[in-house]
Structure 1
Amino acid sequence: MRRTKSAVLALSLSSLSTLALAEPVSQAFVPVTVKSTQDQNEAKGFIEGQHLSGSTRNWYAHERATRAPLWKYYKRDGSRHDTHSRNNWVQGNILNYTSGFTEGTVGFSTEVAAYNAIALEQGRAAVAGPNNRTLTHSDGEVVGQWSKMGLANLKARVSNTTLTAGRQSIDTPVIAYIGNRALPSSFQGVSLHSAEFDNLSFDAGTFDRVSTRTEQGQSKFRSEYGDSNQYTDRVSMAGVNYQPLKSVNTSLYLSKVEDLWNQYYFGATHELGDSALLSLSTGLNYYKTRDEGKRKLGEIDNDTYSLSLGLTHQAHRLSVSYQQVNGNEYFDYLHDTNAIFLANSLLSDFNGPNEKSLQVAYTLNMAGYGIPGLKFNIYNARGWGIDGTHYTSSGYDVRGLEGENHYEYGIGSTYTVQSGSLKDATVRATYTAHRASKAQADGSLDELRVVTTIPFNIL
């Protein structure tokens, strides 16, 4: 590990003389200035600015346990049986209507999105439900087709500040929609986004329900790794995004998950050099999580961070990421969200109690070889030192974790159509292998996933 880090740093330092001949990313200070334009002044009207668009996604995944069976399925007689494999194949469809903003000092708009899912694989044993991939009844019978209102909100805008109320999509380090299934999640609540300055923006919000990826209704929020019977009535958050230099972006967020935890996040990225010759990107993510209120998940005292370094030369990118959990419980986040802005969150989150992990990844962008839109990636990540033996509360099942370890490697390819009637359509194929010691929670499995997403515009 030390040799790998040293090699990356030495290579980045030795390249500085070469970078001087290129056009590197500016390191200049960016003063905080009020925007010269206002989005609301450009409002076209409720009807005049409307859009009707959507997407259709074909989502397929085949999983195979390489050691003990990892899943169970129900037979029609009600008996439950182990299985070494799981197949999920779902067609997800989204139709989204967004009105324009009305003219005037305060503009109003609305957004409505209908979500529909069709189960292309409906075998009980194949799907091995219930799971978060294909909707099934409690007895494991697959729901062949279902629909729901994924988004439904009203917006009010003044200048460059927008207030949104209703079911909405939001993307922050402490609460974020997750879109890695046939349909994404969304949240019920009120949020505010203010971008009155060129390099400074603010977010705030409060939410009481999540519309999950694979369910028709809404439910209260719960944690991803803690006691699944413990729910929270409200999630509130606030944050700021600031660009002090042209090469630096920072974020500071905090959230209160009522009676579960308070969470604080800081993130920063920095770019140095010119990717046409050689550039170095650095990323830092840090979370501090502490128990809150009634402490339904018991005591939480967790500090988790990741640090990544990436070298880019034309079509090639090599990155190294180190991640560490300091705490006797999992680093946790909200279920059916993607609020884990950590470098080593992969098929596994590498977030066990006191876990350390290292990832090495390589990406090839074929645009540099005359095939724009085509990319390949490969990575290997290893986690070690998982230890929950010092945990003293009851919200997390970690006491059996002592010296556990695991590793994961994957290879993938993505192609994005560059022009024509299918412009921006993507095909993504990945193969991932995960191998774990006996008590590590993710288990040993292989997964093949193929996802095709086609966006469209009607109006």
Structure 2
Amino acid sequence: MKLSSKALLALAISSITATAFAEPASQEFVPTTLAGTSAQSEAKGFIDGQSLGGTTRNWFSSERKFRGQRFSYKKHGVTETDANRTNWLQGTILNYSSGFTQGTVGVATEVAAYNVVALDRSKRDIKGGSNRTLADSDGDAVGQWSKLGLANVKFRVSNTTLTAGRQNFSSGIVDTIGNRALPSSFEGVSFDSQELSNLSFQGGIFDRVSPRTEQSLSKFRSEYGNGQETDKVKTLGFNYQPFKSLKTSVFAANVEDFWNQYYFGATHELGDAQTLALTTGLNYYKTTDTGSKKMGKIDNDTYSLSLGLTHQAHSLTFSYQAVNGNEYFDYLHETNGIYLANSLTSDFNGPNEKSFQVAYGLNMAEYGVPGLKFNVYSARGWGIDGTHYTGTAYGEAGVARSDLRLMNGETHQEYGIGTSYAIQSGALKATTIRGTYVTHRASAQQADGNIREFRLVTTIPFNIL
């Protein structure tokens, strides 16, 4: 029997409900009470509570396209093509945070200087720049550049903090993304209220984003659209833990003249990893057009369901994901606002796409090597169908690999293997080294194409004060 998408979603929700009551320990209800302490009452003062530190990250990527696909770049005004692209950078963050002043209303500030040095400056290697290496108008790498990544003022009463300025923010819809040499950040005003023991509220209004690989602020635009920009993003939501084993998150966002988006996430944990533990995750997004509809007509329901089994050092996870809509499941560019289980190198978010992933993880701490981990995964997407798309936001009509209307039954596969190590002690404690290798294969009109990538990232934290 073939289940409909609505039936699968109902099954996903019911599976979380069922596991929430699977054994007595998981039925332990967490009552909502006032927080036991006030963070502001424990404020140390502007100077006494200050800190100065940061991270430096060495970020290397080597990519190769295959099956006839190639990168292009300009050399002496002539377009050249090549199957390879290399990016190598050193990104450093120096972050100063003051303490909160004492009293009923505490005031603090946070300032972070971001700097990047391009270690590979070959125009042929970087292919004219991207969201990896900053390049000038001629496609030459900018050898060294800096900016204010964070610059804000914070006001706190009890356990509620209001932040104004350039800042980090995290939710299922608007989230700082940090998978390059530097992370993104947002310009605006936000609040975080943790007055209750198991229920917190967050919200914000943002009008600009500081991209990972740009020096200036930019307007928000969508990840998959044709460059349309929006002047304002508003978001509001809460995190709630009704049981010790169950955590939920609900957020909504209005992206002016783009869309209204609603997010629900739930994670349930059952059992003991020393014998057998089950982790169930559900992520659901509803997106509809709004305002002047710069992104065209949108009516999209997308969800993912994951089931993970853990036994001591070993974990095995199965993830199913479905997009119900004639357009991409889209999110804001320079954010990590996609909490779907199958968001990998490819997001597996094509119109009407279904995808399935199997992943295996090995934690070597169980074998006496804490900090060392391995993972491998395989994901496949199928049924990509954009033939019913009537808008103009996603690609140029009739252009291969761009126009959704040319996507008819497209498929793709992704395979990845990775290892990471976190140093456990000594002067380099908490330093992480991460290496990954990914292969992505696609049918003719699937947008992500055929590419292999090896990535090596080393991140070193440091403290000065």
> Which residue of structure 1 aligns with residue 208 of structure 2?
209
1:319-370 CA distance string (max 9 Å, x none): 0000000000000000011000000000000000000000000000000000
Which residue in the other structure is 1:313 paired with? 311
Q: Which residue of 2 aligns with 1:419?
A: 425
1:172 partner amino acid: S
2:445 paired residue number: 439
Match of 1:374 in 2: 372
2:401 alignment partner in structure 1: none
Matched with 2:62 is 62
Question: In 1, are the aligned partners of 2:250 and 2:264 still within 8 Å (CA)?
Answer: yes
Which of 403, 406, 409 pairs up with 1:400? 406
- Structure 1 residue 155 displacement after superposition: 0.1
Question: Does the 8 Å CA contact 1:130/1:138 hold for their aligned counterparts?
Answer: no
Tell me which residue corresponds to 1:351.
349
Deviation at 1:28, TM superposition (A): 0.5
Letter of the structure 1 residue corresponding to residue 240 of structure 2: Y
Map of 1:455 onto structure 2: 461
Matched, 1:124 2:140: no
TM-score (norm 2): 0.93
**What SS does structure 2 have at the residue aligned with 1:393?**
coil
Q: Which runs of 5+ in 2 are unaligned?
A: 3-7, 396-403
Quote the Cα distance in structure 1 between the aligned partners of 2:216 and 2:25: 47
1:79 aligns with 2:58: no
Q: Secondary structure at the match of 2:356?
A: strand
Aligned AA for 1:364?
L
The code of the aligned residue for 2:317 comes to: S
Residue-by-residue CA offset, 1:89-117 (whole Å, 9 max, x unaligned): 00000000000000000000000000000
Show structure 1 runs of 4+ deviating over 2 A. 24-27
Matching residue of 1:188 = 187
Q: Superposed, which structure 2 residues align to 1:107-256 within 5 Å?
A: 107-228=106-227, 230-256=228-254
Q: Work out the CA distance in 2 between the residues paired with 1:71 and 1:265.
A: 36
CA offset digits 1:290-312 (Å, max 9, x no partner) = 00100001101100000000000
What amino acid maps onto 1:69 in structure 2?
Q
Q: Does the CA contact (< 8 Å) of 2:146 and 2:215 recur in 1? A: yes
For 2:307 and 2:26, the matched residues in 1 are separated by 19
SS at match of 2:309: strand
Does the CA-based 8 Å contact 1:373-1:417 persist in structure 2? yes
Report the equivalent of 2:336.
338
Take 1:118 and 1:301, find their aligned partners in 2: how far apart are those partners? 43
Match of residue 33 from structure 2: 33
1:148–1:216: 8 Å Cα contact kept in structure 2?
yes
Q: Report what 2:398 is aligned to.
A: none
For 1:59 and 1:338, locate their aligned partners in 2 and report how far apart those are by CA, in whole Å.
19
Distance in 2 between the 1:382 and 1:297 partners?
A: 28
Alpha-carbon distance between aligned partners in 2 of 1:82 and 1:443, rounded to the nearest angstrom: 16
Q: Which runs of 5+ in 1 are unaligned?
A: none
1:261–1:292 Cα contact (<8 Å) kept: yes
Distance 1:129 1:209 in 2: 25
Contact 2:384/2:407, CA 8 A, preserved across alignment: yes
Partner residue, 1:266: 264
| Cα displacement (A) at 1:26 | 3.9
Q: When the two structures are superposed, what TM-score results if normalisation uses the length of structure 1?
A: 0.94
Number of residue pairs the alignment of both structures matches: 442
- Residue 74 of structure 1 deviates from its aligned partner by 1.5
Distance 2:177 2:229 in 1: 19
Which one of the candidate residues 360, 363, 373 is aligned to 1:362? Answer: 360
How far apart, CA to CA, are the structure 2 residues paired with 1:46 and 1:70?
Answer: 54
Deviation at 1:438, TM superposition (A): 0.7
User: 2: distance between equivalents of 1:83 and 1:34?
Assistant: 61
Q: How many Å separate the matches in 2 of 1:166 and 1:70?
A: 41
User: How far did 1:25 drift?
Assistant: 5.7
Could you tell me whether the CA contact under 8 Å between 2:63 and 2:451 is conserved in 1? yes
- Deviation of 1:129 (Å): 2.2
| 2:40 match: secondary structure | helix
Aligned partner of 1:434: which letter?
A: H
Whole-Å Cα distance in 1 between the matches of residues 51 and 60 of structure 2?
30
Letter in 2 for 1:51: S
SS of structure 1 residue aligned to 2:421: strand
Whole-Å Cα distance in 2 between the matches of residues 451 and 267 of structure 1?
Answer: 29
Q: Deviations over 1:410-434 (max 9, x none)?
A: 0000000011111100000000000
**Aligned-partner Cα distance in 2 for 1:182–1:27:** 43
Take 1:266 and 1:454, find their aligned partners in 2: how far apart are those partners?
A: 34
Asked whether the 8 Å contact 1:358–1:383 carries over to 2, the reply is yes
1:97 maps to 96
Query: In 2, are the aligned partners of 1:382 and 1:408 still within 8 Å (CA)?
Result: yes
Alignment partner, residue 257 of structure 1: 255
Letter in 1 for 2:224: Y
Deviation at 1:395, TM superposition (A): 1.1
1:130 positional shift: 2.7
Kindly indicate whether the alpha-carbon contact (under 8 Å) linking 2:43 and 2:49 is maintained by their aligned counterparts in 1: yes
Taking only the aligned residue pairs, the percentage that are identical comes to 65
Does the Cα contact within 8 Å between 2:69 and 2:450 map onto a contact in 1?
no
SS of 2:27's equivalent?
coil
* Aligned CA-pair RMSD: 1.7
Are the aligned partners of 1:25 and 1:271 in contact in 2 as well (CA < 8 Å)?
Answer: no
Q: Distance in 2 between matches of 1:68 and 1:49?
A: 57
